[in-house]
Amino acid sequence: MSEQISQRELRNDSGRIMRGLDEGQSYIVSRNGTPVGELRPLRRHRFVSAHAAVEMFRDAPRVDAATLRRDLDDVVDQDLTDRV
């Protein structure tokens, strides 16, 4: 849930608000009681190790290369003629 803050709070309490963003808090910024914007944390990129990725897909079904190629050829035009 987002905390509503005023334009004045955004200006005067920017340090507290930035710490809140670091902790995942979102804010709705208002001016004269009317919401005018939203501050929310950016999604952070997460590193996944090769070992973890292999473990995640260990029980996934095998992909048959010939079937995959046929399926792709059915939907993708791979004609080499110029399209100018």
What are the boundaries of each domain within the chain?
Answer: 3-39
Tokens representing residue 35 in the block: 């919401």
Domain 3-39 maps to which CATH number in 2.30.30, 3.40.1620, 3.90.580, 1.10.287?
3.40.1620
- Decide: residue 37, CB within 10 A, 0-12 exposed, 13-18 middle, 19+ buried: exposed
pTM of the model: 0.52
Rounded to an integer, what is the distance from CA 19 to the centroid of its chain?
Answer: 21
Q: What is the pLDDT of residues 4-61, one digit of tens each?
A: 999 999 999 999 999 999 999 999 999 999 999 999 999 877 888 999 999 999 999 9
C-alpha distances in Å from residue 12, one per residue of 19, 24, 47: 14, 20, 35
pLDDT exceeds 90 at position 65: yes
Distance of CA 63 to the CA centre of its chain: 27
Rg (alpha carbons) of the chain, rounded to whole number: 25
Average pLDDT over residues 62-77: 91
Per-residue pLDDT at 22 = 92
